[in-house]
Amino acid sequence: MLTPVDPGPAVVACSTCRHDRLSRTDAAGVAGGARLVEALDRVKASNPRYAGIAVQAMPCLFACQDHCTVHLRAPDKVGYVLGRFAPDEEAARAILDYAVHYAASEHGRVAYALWPEGVKGHFITRTPPAGFIAE
């Protein structure tokens, strides 16, 4: 049931998420989550700035009310679930830009002034790392 992956900073993207609030798939019958994973992979490959961030696909993050969801995580850092993204490169770039700041942060907190516009309003939850709670 569990597959080992690199434990470093990662964007775990739901590969089965809805395309948008009303549609499960796009016109070609592909789930929005699968399209977002494709966009994350393309954007990551286009810029060495993103080399330290893994893109990992996982079926269903159980955030079904919110389409195109991702989980940002890294060891000993607060994690975040974000959603309601369009499954495109603009959203992927905003997610990865935020992830770079997140990975560089001490505990997972990124100053609001550094947030890309594309992630504002997309946060769903934050989760403390094992053995900690957030202040």
Domain edges within the chain? 10-127
Predicted TM-score (pTM) of the model is: 0.96
pLDDT at residue number 134: 83
pLDDT in tens, the chain (135 residues): 899 999 999 999 999 999 998 999 999 999 999 999 999 999 999 999 999 999 999 999 999 889 999 999 999 999 999 999 999 999 999 999 999 999 999 999 999 999 999 999 999 999 999 899 988
CATH of region 10-127: 3.40.30.10
pLDDT at residue number 111: 97
Phi-psi region of 55 (alpha: psi -120 to 50; beta: other; left: phi over 0): beta
Contact criterion met (CB below 8 Å) for 79 and 129:
yes
pLDDT at residue number 116: 98
DSSP assignment string, 25-58:
B-TTS-BHHHHHHHHHHHHHHH-GGGTTSEEEEE
